[in-house]
């Protein structure tokens, strides 16, 4: 106990001594105070979690410093970023398209643009554009913080970056900047838009916007658009026509009414909305709005003379492939500067065109037969081993008939679809019994389909669809390259060819029969550069196994026989080799005639026995057989909702025109031999 009391007395003496020392220090240094930190963090005099919680003063100071820093950064950027030269747009290069051999096919561009003053643009057109794109144009600061913020958020999250820009911002993007959707480009757009808004009048900005905006059909600016869609100068546009052109600013790929039924519907809806919007914003009276109830249909799409003949169709297919591979739009391509290397073979394309023209001249005579009017042909050749589109025929002349018959999905394929039903049946039997155990698998259950294919009977194929399953047939043709959106509804008649795939896709699908069951997706562009730098998106995937090699070989043999049945016996009178073929028969819906052919892909060493495992080092397939070619023929009156019947086309002995596509294929092969 005494020891504890002693220790307590000692501690008290120490504490008292420290207190006396502190008091003496204060007496001698009356002005001394502990040094305060500029930023009290971690906080002094706090313990535990409170030591790490910032004070409201610190939070407010940090926020203020951040705002000041951003303001300083904005000031520096505003001073250092200059408005580029507006005339740079006129110096853009054309895009060059090349044949597969590297020679130049065509130069497209440069920018189709004709500047006009606002005195040459009707007020109604200006009002339609402002109502559609930026109703507050005359009162805003030239930028939309909300729109830019939304674009940045979408950009970072991978969403759509379009929309929300003012007319000033769109003018700046059209005239001074690239179309890249990046944070840097958006920041430049914001700064330059503010400068332009401060330095130019609203009328000058509107004039620049109308002269640089993309309206589709290779037209930059309102004057070029007026000619492209209505064949008139801009000053002759009426309010209804102006509303449609304003609708196109949202994207001609979606709103040019001549491109598709879906486009037409969207264009009509937006045209109506813009007219109603003009009333809502006070730019048009209700009485005047009531005058415009009929949609102002634009004229048909026309191509420049440099794209006459087949060139325009080739460019069309190449552009579609580029857009699907890279995400570029028509607007992007129209800016020019691209070097596009296509897969199109110059010689084969010219031979295919010559074959169609010669057979047309020999068989179709609209002056003698009214049933020969409005006859159209389409064709495409696809290389089996890699899917390259090497030739196509899109119509008589792209500058006069722009609808690409090689790529249309409006023509029912008829009996040319039936081989896929037979192939599905063979494939199903192979999977059920096992090819190794049953080399002749499917022989019994599919014999009726083989005979029906040769004799053009329909009921066995309807029955086969019920037995196999329509979904299974659909899955096989999609795997073979047909687009699902081109297929008809899964009804009992589906196996008879009610679907409407393009000639390109039919040629591609038929390659599986002579290529060991392998299918490579069709492509039209091998590579593409901009400013000398290659663009991504052109790597080719490996072919996929759609049919077993045994089924493919069986189908190839069946179609060789069908080909000779169609073209005549192989008695040496023809210069081409056996073919695999499909055709439409007279019993079809009488709206089209098809023929798909390719030189037979047989093993190099047939004496070794049948191919049972596809192409191999022991039994390679011929690689010099030439492409698979699909040819379609139909009657299409411009403006008519449906195809015209084929009755009487080519005269009484043409079998509703079904004898004509095989003649074209034969002429094509003889020219290529």
CATH number of the domain residue 258 falls in: 1.10.3810.10
> Do 272 and 395 belong together in one domain?
no
Kindly state whether residue 541 falls inside one of the protein's structural domains. yes
Rg over alpha carbons for the chain, rounded to the nearest Å, is: 36
pLDDT band, very low/low/confident/very high, at 82 (cuts 50, 70, 90): low
Q: What is the mean pLDDT of the chain?
A: 81
| Boundaries of domain holding 184 | 114-289
The Cα 224–Cα 217 span in angstroms is: 9
- Mean pLDDT throughout 69-95? 59
pLDDT at 609: 29
Q: What percent of the chain has pLDDT over 90?
A: 47
Do residues 439 and 548 make contact, with C-beta atoms less than 8 angstroms apart?
no
Nearest CA to 359 out of 384, 379, 382, 344 is that of 379
Kindly state whether residue 626 falls inside one of the protein's structural domains. yes
pLDDT at 499: 95
> Do 272 and 128 belong together in one domain?
yes
- Mean pLDDT throughout 120-141? 92
> Do 543 and 654 belong together in one domain?
yes
pLDDT at 12: 74
Nearest CA to 503 out of 623, 589, 605, 628 is that of 628
Neighbours of 18 (CB within 10 A): 10
- Mean pLDDT throughout 471-491? 96
Nearest CA to 278 out of 169, 123, 117 is that of 123
- Mean pLDDT throughout 542-562? 91
Cis status of the peptide bond prior to 233, with omega within 30 of 0: no
Kindly state whether residue 13 falls inside one of the protein's structural domains. no
pLDDT at 103 over 70: yes
Q: Give the contacts of 117 (CB within 8 A, at least 6 positions apart).
A: 207
Alpha carbon of 54 to those of 47, 61, 454: distances in Å? 13, 11, 87
Do residues 379 and 630 make contact, with C-beta atoms less than 8 angstroms apart?
yes
> Do 279 and 406 belong together in one domain?
no
pLDDT band, very low/low/confident/very high, at 301 (cuts 50, 70, 90): confident
Tell me which residue has tokens 């000619």. 227
> Do 535 and 666 belong together in one domain?
yes
Q: Among 289, 310, 344, where does a domain finish? A: 289
pLDDT at 78 over 70: no
Kindly state whether residue 648 falls inside one of the protein's structural domains. yes
The Cα 427–Cα 420 span in angstroms is: 10
Neighbours of 291 (CB within 10 A): 12
Q: pTM of the predicted model, to two decimals?
A: 0.70
Both tokens assigned to 356 = 């169609």
Q: How many structural domains comprise the chain?
A: 2
Q: Among 289, 310, 332, where does a domain finish? A: 289
Alpha carbon of 293 to those of 240, 272, 273, 366, 521: distances in Å? 9, 8, 12, 38, 45
Kindly state whether residue 246 falls inside one of the protein's structural domains. yes
**Phi/psi at 381 (5° precision):** -115, 130
Both tokens assigned to 83 = 């408005």
The Cα 218–Cα 329 span in angstroms is: 12
Kindly state whether residue 230 falls inside one of the protein's structural domains. yes
pLDDT at 599: 72
Kindly state whether residue 464 falls inside one of the protein's structural domains. yes
pLDDT band, very low/low/confident/very high, at 614 (cuts 50, 70, 90): very low
The residue ranges of DSSP E strands in 248-384, in sequence order, are 338-342, 375-382
Tell me which residue has tokens 């699909």. 630
> Do 283 and 415 belong together in one domain?
no
> Do 447 and 569 belong together in one domain?
yes
pLDDT band, very low/low/confident/very high, at 38 (cuts 50, 70, 90): low
Question: What CATH number is attached to the domain comprising 486?
Answer: 3.40.710.10
The distance of Cα 118 from the centroid of its chain, to the nearest Å, equals 35
Tell me which residue has tokens 């055709």. 583
pLDDT tens for residues 386-404?
Answer: 999 999 999 999 888 878 9
Distance spanning both ends of the chain, measured CA to CA: 123
pLDDT band, very low/low/confident/very high, at 188 (cuts 50, 70, 90): confident
Do residues 649 and 371 make contact, with C-beta atoms less than 8 angstroms apart?
yes
pLDDT band, very low/low/confident/very high, at 50 (cuts 50, 70, 90): low
pLDDT at 603: 34
Neighbours of 545 (CB within 10 A): 15
pLDDT band, very low/low/confident/very high, at 16 (cuts 50, 70, 90): confident
What torsion do the CA atoms of 536, 542, 546, 552 make, to the nearest 10 degrees?
Answer: 130
pLDDT tens for residues 573-587?
Answer: 444 444 445 555 544
The Cα 427–Cα 550 span in angstroms is: 9
pLDDT at 619: 37
Alpha carbon of 311 to those of 14, 375, 503: distances in Å? 104, 21, 17
> Do 513 and 636 belong together in one domain?
yes
- Mean pLDDT throughout 250-279? 93
DSSP-assigned beta bridge partners for residue 412: none
Q: Among 231, 254, 289, where does a domain finish? A: 289
Kindly state whether residue 4 falls inside one of the protein's structural domains. no
For the chain, how long is the longest CA-to-CA vector? 140
| b/e map 111-130, b = 16+ CB within 10 Å | bbbbbbebebbbebbbbbbb
The Cα 449–Cα 87 span in angstroms is: 67
Tell me which residue has tokens 């105070």. 33
Q: What share of the chain is helix, strand, coil (3-state, %, to 5)?
A: 50, 10, 40
pLDDT at 432: 75
């Amino acid at each position: 106990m005494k020891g504890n009391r002693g220790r307590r007395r000692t501690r008290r003496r120490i504490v008292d001594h420290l207190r006396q020392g502190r008091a003496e220090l204060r007496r001698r240094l009356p002005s001394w105070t502990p040094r305060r930190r500029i930023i009290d963090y971690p906080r002094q005099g706090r313990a535990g979690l409170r030591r790490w919680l910032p004070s409201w003063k610190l939070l407010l100071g940090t926020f203020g410093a951040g705002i000041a820093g951003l303001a300083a950064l904005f000031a520096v950027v505003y001073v250092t970023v200059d408005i580029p030269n507006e005339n740079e747009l006129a110096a853009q290069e054309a895009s060059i398209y090349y044949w597969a051999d590297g020679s130049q096919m065509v130069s497209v561009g440069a920018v189709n643009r004709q500047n006009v003053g606002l005195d040459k643009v009707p007020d109604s057109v200006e009002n339609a554009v402002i109502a559609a794109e930026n109703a507050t144009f005359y009162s805003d600061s030239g930028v939309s913080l909300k729109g830019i913020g939304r674009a940045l958020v979408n950009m970072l999250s991978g969403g759509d970056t379009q929309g929300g820009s003012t007319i000033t911002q769109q003018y700046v993007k059209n005239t001074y900047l690239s179309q890249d959707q990046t944070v840097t480009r958006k920041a430049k757009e914001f700064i330059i838009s503010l400068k332009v808004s401060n330095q130019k009048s609203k009328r000058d900005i509107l004039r620049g916007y109308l002269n640089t905006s993309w309206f589709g059909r290779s037209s930059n600016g309102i004057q070029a658009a007026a000619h492209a869609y209505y064949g008139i100068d801009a000053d002759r546009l009426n309010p209804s026509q102006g509303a449609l052109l304003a609708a196109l600013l949202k994207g001609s790929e979606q709103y040019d009414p001549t491109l598709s039924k879906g486009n037409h519907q969207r264009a009509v809806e937006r045209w109506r909305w813009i007219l109603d919007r003009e009333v809502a914003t006070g730019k048009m009276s209700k009485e005047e709005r009531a005058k415009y109830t009929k949609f102002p249909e634009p004229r048909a799409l026309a191509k420049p003379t440099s794209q006459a003949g087949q060139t325009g169709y080739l460019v069309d297919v190449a552009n579609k492939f580029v857009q699907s591979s890279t995400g570029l739009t028509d607007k992007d391509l129209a800016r020019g500067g691209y070097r596009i290397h296509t897969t199109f073979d110059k010689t084969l394309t010219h031979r295919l065109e010559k074959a169609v023209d010669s057979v047309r001249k020999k068989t179709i005579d609209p002056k003698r037969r009214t049933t020969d009017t409005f006859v159209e042909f389409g064709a495409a050749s696809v290389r089996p081993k890699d899917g390259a589109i090497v030739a196509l025929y899109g119509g008589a002349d792209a500058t006069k008939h722009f609808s690409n018959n090689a790529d249309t999905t409006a023509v029912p394929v008829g009996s040319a679809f039936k081989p896929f039903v037979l192939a599905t049946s063979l494939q199903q039997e192979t999977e059920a019994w096992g090819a190794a155990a049953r080399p002749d698998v499917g022989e019994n259950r599919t014999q009726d389909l083989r005979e029906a294919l040769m004799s053009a009977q329909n009921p066995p194929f309807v029955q086969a669809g019920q037995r196999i399953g329509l979904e299974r047939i659909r899955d096989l043709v999609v795997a073979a390259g047909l687009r699902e959106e081109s297929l008809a509804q899964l009804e009992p008649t589906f196996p008879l060819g009610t679907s409407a795939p393009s000639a390109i896709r039919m040629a591609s699908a038929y390659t599986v029969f002579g290529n060991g069951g392998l299918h490579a997706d069709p492509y039209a562009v091998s590579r593409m550069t901009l400013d000398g730098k290659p663009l991504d998106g052109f790597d080719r995937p490996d072919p996929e196994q759609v049919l077993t090699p045994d089924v493919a070989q069986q189908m190839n043999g069946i179609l060789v026989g069908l080909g000779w049945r169609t073209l005549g016996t192989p008695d040496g009178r023809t210069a081409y080799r056996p073919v695999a073929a499909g055709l439409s028969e007279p019993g079809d819906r009488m709206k089209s005639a098809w023929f798909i052919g390719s030189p037979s892909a047989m093993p190099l060493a047939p004496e070794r026995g049948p191919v049972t495992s596809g192409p191999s080092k022991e039994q390679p397939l011929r690689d010099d057989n030439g492409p698979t070619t699909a040819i379609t023929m139909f009657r299409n009156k411009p403006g008519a909702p449906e195809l015209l019947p084929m009755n009487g086309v080519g005269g009484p002995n043409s079998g509703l025109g079904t004898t004509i596509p095989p003649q074209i294929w034969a002429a094509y092969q003889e020219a290529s031999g």
